[in-house]
Structure 1
């Protein structure tokens, strides 16, 4: 059984576990957190005190905190299982205006699997992980509400100025929301409405432009990557090519020649 876990102190409201080959969990149990489960292959029986549901690969199961349940195999092989534990207090703090009393919900799992893969990735920043997580919560738990038109205002520009000054720092959404005394949800909505980019995308854009500036010197590319806030050279390569359609090495070779 191969297991991976994502857990970070800065994002202490969530924990993700990935299990390649799933075994049975016959004993009835409960979790203090709200849990979301999905699988890629096979099927599971998820049983409650008075009912059970079959979890198939095209579905997610959302089980409320303190709900007694177990999970048994419904097929010989069940592979690639993801279980996300979310602090219910954190969900309530997002002020989504909904009840979080779920026992089971069938839905398309693609956005959840994408979230899980992002959380497990080693070359994605905490900020991007957090933002994608919050966006998943908004699409999964909140009612579909139109975002009110937001005029260009001092708040959105102040957020942008803050990001411009701090994009090389290891910041998360809570740091920014505390700076401006607003909720994380309001932060994400105001910024994306105003500038058309997710916050993590804006920061990546700032970083690749910083790297482009540093490439004008004869610095080694690995040093350029670290000084512009990337994990390593390959992380810089992918991000730089997405923006400029050329690798940092190709760019540096052309400008220095």
Structure 2
């Protein structure tokens, strides 16, 4: 990015104050919680189930922040400077357009269903972004972070398992990897209003685009309706489990992690 000083001495990046890019205390606190609970889970200190719960939930929230940040930073580079003024580049989840849909609901689904639910959180002014490819890249940026997280976590499991730490720690890490894998698949589904659908929307002809825009506000409802269907739900998890097996993600380990985070079951 091009940085320069304006007359008052304030440092700017593409006309935006550098403070707009500074990680928020909320995000820093989430990272600190993720590291702290990870250390506790690694050592098996205290209530290990509670530590794994904090480790997985805070890790998932950190990934959500980075997912939305990826959308915002690509949109910023593509021409929408408003994402900086709306606070999306500070990684503060409280700045999201729909905190309930983007934070509370995904965490609830993670705990109850073991699925990394995507969330629509940052609002991008598409009129300020020229070119269909740029629009697609803005939508792709979020799922790409989930894919990257999946690969990094699986690599950590394959390299680090057996090098120390408690089984509970590795189970929590495996669950995080599984959640990232489910989020990767869900985010790439061509559902109107979700990232996968938004990736193809700019390439549709005007008639199909009007139909897409009609259904886009109901993307979450469509997603839940699809996953509620037993056959589609089975196809979805077949894809996820197959991908997990190809990557070498142990099913028993992330299954153990899911049991651990549901600490209220005793």
Q: TM-score range by the shorter chain?
A: under 0.3
Structure (1/2) with the larger strand percentage: 1
* Greater length-normalized contact order (CA 8 Å, ≥ 6 residues apart): 2
| Structure with the larger helix share | 2
Please report the TM-score for the alignment, with normalisation by the length of structure 1: 0.27
Which TM-score applies when normalising by structure 2?
0.27
Question: Which of structures 1 and 2 has the bigger CA Rg?
Answer: 1
